[in-house]
């Protein structure tokens, strides 16, 4: 039955989704028109129900008939050689709301009592959410898809999904703070009775230290224990701070047990968080950990467009593409460039055009620009193409070396002031017409072959340069 189901499903969805969401499923048995399948986690189950219930239903209809049922068996603990996995079963329902959603009713909020609000003030705490960070202006891309969808699920049903805690990690400037605050804002706006609190780990630490100093530890703990949705940013800051971690551990446990939502961010994966207590790290794994990565070219374009649109600025597509090509480190840097572009434009009363973009960018990347020398070109080319230096410099006509050699000549022509003859000299004493031929050949390839253009862009990066297509 299951292989028939898979056949049907496979037809309906793309290969990648099929591999991710259906290959890991283990069919258990069929009885009384009910098919039992085992899935790796609660998250997996929820994802299937949210996204693939229709294809599943279709497959079940087809194989078991309209009354066919699906039962999920979810692995809670993978077990080991001695212990079998622990699982629990969820019969398929017509609705897509998971059973757990009804089991864990959130507790009534306590923070409405004026006394506690006063405490809140004395601790210098407020929700600290920046209303500017929303899902609407958070551009989705492959780089953040999982985090964003999990975040949205949490925002819609805080404390109820299995993404608790939700941990977003990734390096600086990739949107962690934006995303976790967007979740907070969403909850705050849709469930006004919920107490949402955003705090950086640094601030949490300072508050903790002050609480010890002032003998108000109890008030501190009590305060945090009333939060419905605790968002704690940059938890890597807690590393090595034993006492603060202990306090956080208790707060975490209390909130988690009461079905309150916890959202965290970190600049590295939990397993790389040295200086963090194991018991805390193991708690982090209870929920979902999702990373954010560097946005790809298309996502960078979309982000730039969104920012410009929000600021009411118009820039030609060509210039946007140029910027997206040039800045691929992180989103914060892209924003920085836009800001200085706008500043330059208004100072010089100029349109933001290609020229301005180039000069502005040049000023920004100028720090990293080293002089490009013959040796650095030879090094870059040999390592990029994995060819021997001696082969590259020889007169060998082997295809594997001819192309890299022509590229090297082209780069020397571009970056150094050497006369063509001197360039030829570096390659077994070839004459200048060989160099001209090489440069022409590569120029044509760059125009006609996208791969060659890509290769060239990568090589430019060896020299911290940005390649601008004309």
Contact window for Mg ion (CB under 5 A) among 37-45, 104-112, 177-185, 358-366: 177-185
Residue nearest to Mg ion (CB): 177
- Choice from 63, 144, 177, 330 touching Mg ion (CB under 5 A): 177
Q: Which residues are annotated as a binding site for ATP?
A: 173, 175-177
455 binds, among ligand ADP, Mg ion, none (CB under 5 to 8 A by kind): none
Residue nearest to ligand ADP (CB): 175
Q: By CB under 6 A, name the binding residues for ligand ADP.
A: 137-139, 144, 172-178, 303, 306, 331-332, 335
178 binds, among ligand ADP, Mg ion, none (CB under 5 to 8 A by kind): ligand ADP
Stretch 74-103 residues interacting with Mg ion (CB under 5 A): none
469 binds, among ligand ADP, Mg ion, none (CB under 5 to 8 A by kind): none
Give the nearest distance from C-beta 294 to Mg ion in angstroms. 15
Give the nearest distance from C-beta 137 to ligand ADP in angstroms. 6
421 binds, among ligand ADP, Mg ion, none (CB under 5 to 8 A by kind): none
Give whichever of 214 and 309 is closer to ligand ADP, judged by the CB atom: 309
Give whichever of 35 and 262 is closer to ligand ADP, judged by the CB atom: 262
Give the nearest distance from C-beta 13 to ligand ADP in angstroms. 25
Give whichever of 55 and 301 is closer to ligand ADP, judged by the CB atom: 301
Give the nearest distance from C-beta 47 to ligand ADP in angstroms. 21
Give the nearest distance from C-beta 136 to Mg ion in angstroms. 19
Give whichever of 56 and 290 is closer to ligand ADP, judged by the CB atom: 290
Reduced 3-state DSSP string for the chain: CHHHHHHHHHHHCCHHHHHHHCCCCEEEEEECCEEEEEECCHHHHHHHHHHCHHHHHHHHHHHHCCCCEEEEEEEEECCCCCCCCEEEEEECCCCCCCHHHHHCCCCCCCCCCHHHHHHHHHCCCCCCCCCCCCCCCCCCCCCCHHHHHHHHHHHHCCCCCCCCCEEEECCCCCCHHHHHHHHHHHHHHHCCCCCEEEEEHHHHHHHHHHHHHCCCHHHHHHHHHCCCEEEEECHHHHCCCHHHHHHHHHHHHHHHHCCCEEEEEECCCHHHCCCCCHHHHHHHCCCEEEECCCCCHHHHHHHHHHHHHHHCCCCCHHHHHHHHHHCCCCHHHHHHHHHHHHHHHHHCCCCCCHHHHHHHHHHHHHHHCCCCCHHHHHHHHHHHHCCCHHHHHCCCCCHHHHHHHHHHHHHHHHHCCCCHHHHHHCCCCCCHHHHHHHHHHHHHHHHHCHHHHHHHHHHHHHCCCCCCCC
205 binds, among ligand ADP, Mg ion, none (CB under 5 to 8 A by kind): none
Q: Which residues are annotated as a binding site?
A: 173, 175-177
Give the nearest distance from C-beta 127 to Mg ion in angstroms. 17
Give whichever of 86 and 172 is closer to ligand ADP, judged by the CB atom: 172
Binding interface with Mg ion (CB under 5 A): 176-177
């Amino acid at each position: 039955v299951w292989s028939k189901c898979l056949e049907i499903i496979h037809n309906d969805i793309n290969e990648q989704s099929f591999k991710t969401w259906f290959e890991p499923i283990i069919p258990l048995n069929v009885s009384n028109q009910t098919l039992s399948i085992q899935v790796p986690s609660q998250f997996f189950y929820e994802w299937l129900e949210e996204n693939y219930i229709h294809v599943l239903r279709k497959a079940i209809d087809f194989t078991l008939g309209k009354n066919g049922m699906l039962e999920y068996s979810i692995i809670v603990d993978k077990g080991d050689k001695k212990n079998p996995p622990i699982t629990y079963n969820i019969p398929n329902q017509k609705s897509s709301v998971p059973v757990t959603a009804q089991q864990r009713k959130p507790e009534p909020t306590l923070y409405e009592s004026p006394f506690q609000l006063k405490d809140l003030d004395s601790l210098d705490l407020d929700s600290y959410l920046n209303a500017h960070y929303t899902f609407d202006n958070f551009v989705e891309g492959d780089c953040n898809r999982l985090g964003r969808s999990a975040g949205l699920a949490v925002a819609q049903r805080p404390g109820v999904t299995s993404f608790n805690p939700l941990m977003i990690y990734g390096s600086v400037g990739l949107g962690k703070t934006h995303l976790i605050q967007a979740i907070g804002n969403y909850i705050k706006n849709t469930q006004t009775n919920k107490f949402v609190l955003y705090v950086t780990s640094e601030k949490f630490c300072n508050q903790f230290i002050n609480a010890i100093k002032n003998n108000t530890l109890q008030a501190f703990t009590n305060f945090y224990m009333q939060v419905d949705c605790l968002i704690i940013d940059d938890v890597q800051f807690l590393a090595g701070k034993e006492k603060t971690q202990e306090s956080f551990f208790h707060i975490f446990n209390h909130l988690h047990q009461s079905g309150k939502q916890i959202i965290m961010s970190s600049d590295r994966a939990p397993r790389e968080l040295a200086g963090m207590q194991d018991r805390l790290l193991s708690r982090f794994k209870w929920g979902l950990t999702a990373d954010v990565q560097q946005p790809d070219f298309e996502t960078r374009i979309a982000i730039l467009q969104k920012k410009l649109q929000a600021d009411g600025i118009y820039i030609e597509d060509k210039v946007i593409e140029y910027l997206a090509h040039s800045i691929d480190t992180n989103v914060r840097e892209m924003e920085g460039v836009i800001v200085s572009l706008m500043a330059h434009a208004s100072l010089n009363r100029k349109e933001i055009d290609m020229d301005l973009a180039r000069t502005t960018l040049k000023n920004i990347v100028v720090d990293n620009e080293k002089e490009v020398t013959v040796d650095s070109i030879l090094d870059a080319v040999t390592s990029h193409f994995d060819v021997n230096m001696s082969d590259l410099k020889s007169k060998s006509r082997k295809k594997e070396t001819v192309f890299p050699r022509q590229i090297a000549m082209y780069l020397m022509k571009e970056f150094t002031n050497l006369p063509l003859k001197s360039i030829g000299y570096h390659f077994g004493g070839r004459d200048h017409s060989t160099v001209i031929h090489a440069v022409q050949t590569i120029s044509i390839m760059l125009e006609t072959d996208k791969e060659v253009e890509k290769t060239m862009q990568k090589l430019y990066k060896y020299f911290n340069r940005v390649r601008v297509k004309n």
